[in-house]
Amino acid sequence: EKGGYAHFMAKEIMEQPEAVRKTISPRIRDGRVVLDDLHLTADYVRGLSRIFIIACGSSYHVGVVSKYSWEKLLRRPVEVMLASEFRYCDPLVDEKTLVIVISQSGETLDTMAAMREARRRGGRTLAIVNVVGSSIAREADDVLYTWAGPEIAVATTKAYTTQLVLMDLVGLYLADLLGTVEKPAYEAILSEMQLLPEKMQGFLAHTEDIQYFASRYFNHDSIFFIGRNLDYAMGLEGSLKLKEISYIHSEAYASGELKHGTISLIEPGTLVVALGTYAPLFDKAMSNVVEVKARGAEVLALTTEPFRERMEKTADATISVPETHPMLQPSLSVVPLQLFAYYVALQRGCDIDKPRNLAKSVTVE
């Protein structure tokens, strides 16, 4: 059942190219995003005053990525909130509010309750769900499925990446309805998106360096992920993945916040995973690497192939991923972070598919 892999997590990581392909290809026709199951009119979208994205855990991290990319595409306020916070904060939802809920299982209690609260206040709900016919899918006004297939490992991988690409598609679709995206940009993103499965596949064929870095660093007891913009959003997921299955304390920080407190935690030998895959801010990422190196940090950097050489000059260890459009970069860049967490947990002898105290779907508050 694990298809020859030692763990479901490894199998599911490797299934990502196919899962992403299945999620995007039926929705791209003649160079356009086609979302037949979505019933939002251009007038409704134009009349929106705000958009919320609500979820828990890794699905929430997808929301954090999407806030950055959707606001850029839509020029409308997009607020991302944890479902457990949203449901009790007297949220500002009315008829002009679209509430996107993201859930792999479609059964997460807080997400379900948040969705009901949004509907009660007159908001329209669109669920991004992996499990067909699940409770959230049945109750939402609209539902779009990620076609990741069954995900067994508690730590999500292929559900996360398919949520990311589906949110990118929905963002493009809404931007097209609003007329807020130029044709060349729209086309460039869509054509890069279609290359993602192939690029992911290519990357997954050679992951020996990640295995090696995991064996070099698995004994650290605290690890920091730093990045800006989409790299920061993705760092949240990299950090969660690591702590969830390897039980190493880890935190993700926006690099610009280092000087506001976090940098006091950096001492000689502290491992910092520096994320520098978001091309528009690569120079800023580099200067943060220099800054933590100056405090004695050991830096494991992640960047894209075109920037590898520059990064290698300063970082102690560098992993590079293929480059894609900056908006889509997290769906490729997260893969080495998933693998790093996996190999570190393997070195530490953890129960990878069933980490302690955690359940695949959280149906209690």
The conformation of residue 264, written as its DSSP 8-state character, comes to G
Candidate ranges 5-13, 103-111, 184-192, 306-314; the one touching ligand M6R (CB under 6 A): 103-111
The only residue of 108, 135, 277, 320 in contact with ligand M6R, by rule CB under 6 A = 108
Nearest CA to 257 out of 223, 298, 222, 292 is that of 292
Candidate ranges 44-52, 149-157, 208-216, 271-279; the one touching ligand M6R (CB under 6 A): 149-157
**299 near ligand M6R (CB under 6 A):** no
Which residues are paired to 126 by β-bridges? 100, 142
Candidate ranges 21-29, 101-109, 202-210, 297-305; the one touching ligand M6R (CB under 6 A): 101-109
Could you tell me how far CA 2 lies from the centroid of its own chain? 24
Site string for ligand M6R, 37-76 (x = CB under 6 A): -------------------xxxx-----------------
271 — phi, psi (to 5°)?
A: -85, 125
The only residue of 69, 84, 97, 103 in contact with ligand M6R, by rule CB under 6 A = 103
Phi-psi region of 31 (alpha: psi -120 to 50; beta: other; left: phi over 0): left
Three-state secondary-structure class, residue 355: coil
The only residue of 93, 155, 226, 272 in contact with ligand M6R, by rule CB under 6 A = 155
Q: For residues 56 and 301, which CB has a smaller minimum distance to ligand M6R in the complex?
A: 56
Site string for ligand M6R, 156-175 (x = CB under 6 A): x-------------------
CB 285 within 8 A of CB 333: no
Q: For residues 44 and 247, which CB has a smaller minimum distance to ligand M6R in the complex?
A: 247
Candidate ranges 105-113, 175-183, 274-282, 324-332; the one touching ligand M6R (CB under 6 A): 105-113
Q: For residues 170 and 258, which CB has a smaller minimum distance to ligand M6R in the complex?
A: 170
- Note the maximum CA span of the chain: 57
CB 171 within 8 A of CB 69: yes
Question: How many C-beta neighbours within 10 Å does residue 73 have?
Answer: 24
Both tokens of residue 89? 């904060």
The only residue of 97, 105, 146, 333 in contact with ligand M6R, by rule CB under 6 A = 105
Three-state secondary-structure class, residue 21: helix
Both tokens of residue 303? 């960047």
Q: Least Å distance between CB 356 and ligand M6R?
A: 13
Could you tell me how many residues make up the chain? Answer: 365
Rounded Cα–Cα distance for residues 360 and 105 (Å): 8
Could you confirm whether 360 is annotated as catalytic? yes
Measure Cα distances from 349 to 245, 254, 346 in Å. 10, 31, 5
Task: Kindly determine how many residues on this chain lie close enough to bind ligand M6R according to the rule CB under 6 A.
Answer: 16
The only residue of 23, 66, 69, 104 in contact with ligand M6R, by rule CB under 6 A = 104
Q: Least Å distance between CB 299 and ligand M6R?
A: 25
The set of catalytic residues is: 360
Residues forming the site for ligand M6R (CB under 6 A): 56-59, 103-105, 108, 111, 154-156, 240, 244, 361-362
